[in-house]
Amino acid sequence: MIRVEPRTAPSRLMKIGVPILSAVIALALAAIPLVFAGAAIGPAYVEMFKGVFGSKFAFSEMLTRATPLIFTGLAAALAFRARLWNIGAEGQLYLGAMAAVAIGTGAVEAPAVILLPLIILFGCMAGAAGMAVPAVLKTRFGADEVVTTLLLNFIILIFLQYMLEGPLKDPMGLGWPQSSPILDQGMLPPLMERMRVHSGLIIALVCAGVAQFMLARSVWGFKLRAVGENAFAARHAGIRVNRTLLSAALVSGALAGMAGVSEVAGLKGYLTSDLSPGFGYTGIVVAMLAGLSPAGVVAAAVFIASVFVGADSMSRAMGVSSYLADLVVSTSLLCVLIGGFFARFRFVRVKVRQRAAS
């Protein structure tokens, strides 16, 4: 008879191995929809690979794609560590982008050394505000933050439409619902000539490093982890649970807002309602693949960005729907979840010796 027993503690190897294995399995399972779409499997994988590693431009495109995912991945990871289910990163991203555009398209006349930090500051504050509301609704009224953050995403998107057709509308945009472009001195400088990858990536990496450090080594991080693991015991020990949740919410929202700033002031230059193809939601998958570790978020973001960029390229080359990327990403989430089970439990074969009846 096989019995399931909890492991004493998952080894380091397992903690890294499970996400990597999940990623590999999810990629391998992509063969099934490829067959369904009538595409040749080998060449499809080759095209995906080339789409990321085939040229310097391709690689920089991947990094460009990874940048907002690092931000939203960090937002989700930090919140989830506190057991605060922030599903609203998508909306918070747009709040950050709107703030960036409100400040950076001409309302403030200042040189880059002032304007850029100002844009970042207001973008982060806007994102933080977006998560503060659901957090307060949770701590004061017990309203489930999963639903409130989700619904708020829709509200923010509708608000965005209003802003793009009204106060933020570009007077010289030929009537399209888009914002004015951000001033040159408000743009995040690019990292390489003729490539789209920009200094938002550096900011993202710094954020990941700081988050990892703070989570592991600071009192704030300790409290966040304690509240996430067992809010009752944390409270009993004197930790201010609501205060901790609120601060986690603000940081999480700020990071998601930064994703919006990064996209608008680093990549696109102006704001439209399709700025984000779901970065907020994908960030959740990034966080789970990373095992909720900020350092892991960088690796997971790179992987997911590679999948999207690679699948895009393969889609153009072979005519397979680029939704394949979403399939791989969602499959990898389910794999990592199942893998978590194997990391926590192990199978033990037990011999049942039944004494003969007298």
Partner 1 sequence: MDILQILLSESFWAASLRIATPLIFGVLGALLCEKSGVLNLGIEGIFVAGAMSGWMAVWLGAGLWGGVLVAAAAGGFFGLIHAILTVPLGLSQHVSGLGVTLFATSVSYFSYRTALPNVSSPPRIEPFRPLDIPVLSDLPFVGPVLFQQTALTWLALLMVVVVWYVMNRTALGVAIKAVGDNPNSVDAQGLSVYGLRIGAVVAGSSLMALGGAFLTMSAFDAFFFGMVNGRGWISIALVIFASWRPGKALLGALLFGAFDALQVRLQTEVGALVPSQVFLAAPYVLSIIALVIVARSADYPRALLTPWFKGQR
Partner 2 sequence: MTAEKVLALKGLSKTFGPVVANSDVNLDLHRGEVLALLGENGAGKTTLMNMLFGHYMPDAGSVEVADQGGHFRPLQLGHPQAAIAAGIGMVHQHFTLAENLNALDNIMLGAERLSRLRRDRRAAHAKVQKIMLSSGLSAPLDVPVGRLTVGERQRVEILKALYRDVDILVLDEPTAVLTPQEADTLFENIGAMTRDGLSVIFISHKLREVLAFSHRIAVLRHGVKVGEIASKDADERMIARMMVGADTPEPDRPVLAPGAPVLRLEKVSVPGRSRRDSLLRVDLTVHRHEILGIAGISGNGQGALAGVISGMVRPTGGRVFIGDAKIANHHPSTMIDAGVGRIPEDRHRDGIVGAMSVAENMVIERLGDPEVQSRGLLRREAIQSHAEALSTGHDVRGPGTQAPARLLSGGNIQKLILARVFERQPRLILANQPTRGLDMGAAAEVARRLLAARSRGAGVLLISEDLDEILSLSDRILVIHDGELTEADTRDREALGLLMAGEDA
Residue ranges binding partner 1 (CB under 8 A) = 33, 36-37, 85, 87, 137, 141-144, 146-148, 150-152, 154-155, 158-159, 161-162, 166, 281, 284-285, 288, 319-321, 323-324, 326-327, 329-331, 333-334, 337-338, 340-341
Closest CA to 97 of 249, 273, 269, 257: 257
Would you say 142 or 175 has its CB closer to partner 2?
Answer: 142
Tell me which of partner 1, partner 2, none is bound by residue 284, counting a contact when its beta carbon lies within the kind-specific cut-off of 5 to 8 angstroms: partner 1
Would you say 87 or 124 has its CB closer to partner 1?
Answer: 87
Distance set, CA 265 to CA 41, 100, 105, 305 (Å): 39, 7, 10, 20
Tell me which of partner 1, partner 2, none is bound by residue 347, counting a contact when its beta carbon lies within the kind-specific cut-off of 5 to 8 angstroms: none
Centroid of chain to Cα 343: 23
Query: Per the structure block, which two tokens stand in for 124?
Result: 């982060």
Q: Which residues bind partner 2 (CB under 8 A)?
A: 1, 3, 5-6, 8-9, 217-220, 222-223, 225-226, 229-230, 232-240, 350-358
For every residue of 150-193, DSSP letters joined together read HHHHHHHHHHHHHHHHTTTB-TTSTT-S-BPPPPGGGSPPBSST
Minimum distance, C-beta of residue 74 to partner 2, in the bound complex (Å): 20
Distance between CA atoms of 354 and 63, rounded to whole angstroms?
A: 61
Tell me which of partner 1, partner 2, none is bound by residue 162, counting a contact when its beta carbon lies within the kind-specific cut-off of 5 to 8 angstroms: partner 1
Distance between CA atoms of 332 and 34, rounded to whole angstroms?
A: 16
Tell me which of partner 1, partner 2, none is bound by residue 113, counting a contact when its beta carbon lies within the kind-specific cut-off of 5 to 8 angstroms: none
Specify the amino acid at residue 341: F
Question: Is 221 within 8 Å of 61 (Cβ atoms)?
Answer: no
Tell me which of partner 2, partner 1, none is bound by residue 238, counting a contact when its beta carbon lies within the kind-specific cut-off of 5 to 8 angstroms: partner 2
Max CA separation in the chain (angstroms): 96
Minimum distance, C-beta of residue 70 to partner 1, in the bound complex (Å): 19
